[in-house]
Chain A
Amino acid sequence: MEELYAAHAQRAGRLAYFLVGDRDLAQDLVQEAFLKVFARWGNLREPHSFAAYLNRTIVNLAHKAHQRRGVEQRYLEKQPRLEAMAPVRDYETADEMWRQLQLLPQRQRTAIVLRYYEDLTDHQAAEAMGCSQTAVASLVQRALGTLRKNASAAEVG
């Protein structure tokens, strides 16, 4: 159990952080995810897809947290009104892209994080999200479209 935790905790924590954008919330989610996983499946040996199972648990918990807390709404309330800001040509800092990521709808953000941070295939991401591969591909497309649009809006018109 210790080994599994040591092997997966950091990555799980980052996944949770990227999905909910809030460090404290992410810490809670990770602890709860490990609690669920270890309590239910007590094998000391690693089952085949421990990481995938952990991913799926974190995705589910993040989704529930999002529904409960309206993360996007709160985030928007805290930030200056981004749409009124002059659009940037490119993402000059990681922070700016981070903000855009957190503004995406929950499932689009989840698809992006699973594909580009966890480097999962569409198939693996679909398993973690409980949806079809085509749904994942479509979510990724739409998210990338939004991110690109916000990055290069200066070029338009």
Chain B
Amino acid sequence: MEQELRRMFEVKETEMIVPPTLSPELRNRIGRLRMLMGGLIAAAALAVVLGGFVGVRSLSSDDALPPANPDSKENPFVGTWTTTNVDGGTRTMVIRASGEDAYEITVHNHLAQVCSGAPSTLTGTGQLLGSKSLFIRSPQITCDDGSEPKLEDDLPPPEELLRGLSFEHDPEADILTNYSPLERRRIGGNDQAIYDGVTLVWRRAVAESRVGDVSGWITYGDKGGIWARDLTSPDDPADRIRLSSAPGTPIGWSRDGLKLLVERDMGGTDGLNEAELFVLSSEGTETRLTDADGGTGGGSFSPDATAVVYARTRECWWRSGGCGKDASSAIYVVDAEGGSPRVLLTSGSRRYPDDCGTHTCMPGRFETALQEPKWSPDGSQIAYFDGMFDWGHSLRVMDRDGTNSRVVVENSETLGGGHVDGLEWSPDGSQLAFSIEGRLYVVGVDGSGFRLVTDVGGRPYWSPDGSHIAYTRDLEASEGGGSLEIVRLDDLQVQNFGDGGSGPWTSEVEWSANPKAVDPPDG
């Protein structure tokens, strides 16, 4: 019977011919569907998908995003504004032009009472009414901690109260005002809620007024080599220190500030990034640490800088069938002065969950890839990503000996898809920051407080006191892509420092003034 079945299939095969190449029509549909899904994923991540208060802006599948209005100087509404809320905290509003007479509004640290005290974010799209009013359509509120906005029973939902939200511009004073009905509430006699509302006055946040005292040095790489830039004098080229004349990407300082861990792209087959790790010392010497099939995928110093942990995924991981019996991705530890690496953790196989939410589940088990291992400040743990490079991310923490791994966050709905770019412990070891496709997230090591900090930021680096995060502004952002930006975490105010990009942030750089010229390594 089995033979006959097979023979039958052989015969019947010839009756079915599929077009041998993708039709242009199908290709178009794929492109539009990808863009629609990309927009949904980004918007959903921004809004932190909730039950009834999903702040998803849907992109029409037939439209490309209109270009941002470059002439923002003439537009009085565009820019960053600040006001003080009733509790005395600072609220920040960013208004961006997203096309002709179209605006995107994001208010950070919005009403706290709807989120049981946690900060909330308001988003909306705006249109001009006349020249003095900006009218917000569909304002939506999300809670920064991922919880669902709550309301008292006798109040309508925030969107209804906020319907018709509008901002007036006073051209003489260059301020915005808006009436906020939820701003002040009191319970009158007989438990009746009365809300007076209040008029908020927003002042423009000007670039010159530095948000905070950021100091220290940001280390970055460009074609001319590797540099450290003094944040107290960021625009003076004379205040940059050259750490190496060979290009590379610095990814971490040793705690004593005397060694710098650097990735150098040694080129590779098939366009895959083949980064290898080097340790640069303040005396100007350089040690190559790795020579890995497939290159390295992130790493860091141990707190005492005697060791380096790094990840490596072999080329064969990408092929169907994988690498066969041998592990295709692993985390290694190697002496900071070079030597033989030892394996700390090999990638496991994961079965994709049965309930994949809105996605289609992939069948079978997958050998995952390990990326971005980072030693905790106290040296007891290592954080890392386990996933499939651009989906299925699982942020994990394990003990320094490779055991006791546990998940910090792996919710694919909140994390979304896209490439992981960086992972860093906060200096006090309580939080982790990381970026996925330009979405910069912060989460507590215990998994709490998951929030989006910016959606145009790659590779986060904490300030030495943990109050700010530096990142390179996404190249896909409408303006200023590739520049260094620093965000203050308590109110999400951003400063842009212009060209140069971001990198490890340290308080002091003591480097010999004339590093030995380093010949680019062979390879």
Contact = CB atoms under 8 A, between A and B. Distances in A.
B6 A116 contact: yes
Interface stretch (B79-87, B340-348, B357-365, B403-411): B357-365
A151 B1 CA distance: 9
Interface string A32-70: 001110111111011111111101110010000000000
A154 to B, nearest CB: 16
Contact of B22 (A2, A41, A48): A2
Nearest to B38: A42
Interface of A: 1-2, 5-6, 9-10, 12-14, 16-18, 23, 26-27, 30-31, 34-36, 38-43, 45-53, 55-57, 60, 91, 94, 97-98, 101, 112-113, 116-117, 124, 127-128, 130, 144, 147-148, 151
Q: Taking each of A18, A27, A39, A124, which has the highest tally of chain B beta carbons within 10 Å of its own beta carbon?
A: A39
A40 B5 contact: no
Nearest to B16: A17
A53 to B, nearest CB: 5
Q: Taking each of B19, B359, B363, B390, which has the highest tally of chain A beta carbons within 10 Å of its own beta carbon?
A: B363
Contacts of B322: 48
Given A14-B16, A39-B33, A91 B4 contact: yes
A2 B30 CA distance: 12
B352 to A, nearest CB: 10
Given A10-B17, A47-B388, A98-B8, A128 B363 contact: yes
27 contacts: A5-B22, A10-B17, A10-B20, A13-B16, A14-B9, A14-B13, A16-B16, A17-B16, A18-B9, A23-B15, A34-B26, A38-B30, A39-B33, A39-B37, A41-B362, A47-B388, A49-B364, A49-B366, A50-B320, A53-B363, A56-B361, A60-B360, A91-B8, A127-B363, A127-B364, A130-B361, A144-B1
B363 A117 contact: no
B8 A97 contact: yes
Given A36-B360, A49-B366, 17 more contacts: A2-B22, A9-B18, A18-B12, A23-B15, A31-B23, A38-B30, A39-B33, A39-B37, A40-B37, A46-B320, A49-B362, A50-B320, A52-B364, A91-B8, A113-B9, A127-B363, A144-B2
A48 B359 contact: no
A48 B320 contact: yes
A1 to B, nearest CB: 7
B435 to A, nearest CB: 19
B321 A5 contact: no
B34 interface: yes
Interface in B357-399: 359-364, 366-367, 388-391
Interface of B: 1-2, 4-9, 11-13, 15-23, 26, 29-30, 33-34, 37, 318-322, 359-364, 366-367, 388-391
Contacts of B359: 40
B12 A17 contact: yes
B26 A97 contact: no
B270 to A, nearest CB: 8
B337 to A, nearest CB: 35
A26 B13 CA distance: 13
Contacts of A41: 362, 391
A18 B6 CA distance: 12
Contacts of A91: 4, 8
Contact of A116 (B5, B362, B367): B5
A26 B16 contact: yes
B71 to A, nearest CB: 34
Contact of B30 (A14, A35, A50): A35
B12 A53 contact: no
Q: Taking each of A16, A17, A48, which has the highest tally of chain B beta carbons within 10 Å of its own beta carbon?
A: A48
B16 A56 contact: no
B1 A147 contact: yes
A14 B22 CA distance: 17
Contacts of B17: 10, 13
Given A46-B320, A57-B360, A30 B366 contact: no
Contacts of B1: 144, 147-148, 151
Question: 9 closest Cβ contacts across the A-B interface?
Answer: A13-B18, A127-B363, A39-B33, A94-B11, A17-B16, A94-B8, A116-B5, A117-B9, A97-B8
A48 B313 CA distance: 14
Nearest to B7: A94
A127 B365 CA distance: 9
B347 to A, nearest CB: 12
A32 B92 CA distance: 45
Contacts of B18: 9-10, 12-13, 27, 30
Q: Taking each of B11, B30, B33, which has the highest tally of chain A beta carbons within 10 Å of its own beta carbon?
A: B30
Contact of B4 (A57, A97, A127): A97
Contacts of A98: 8, 12
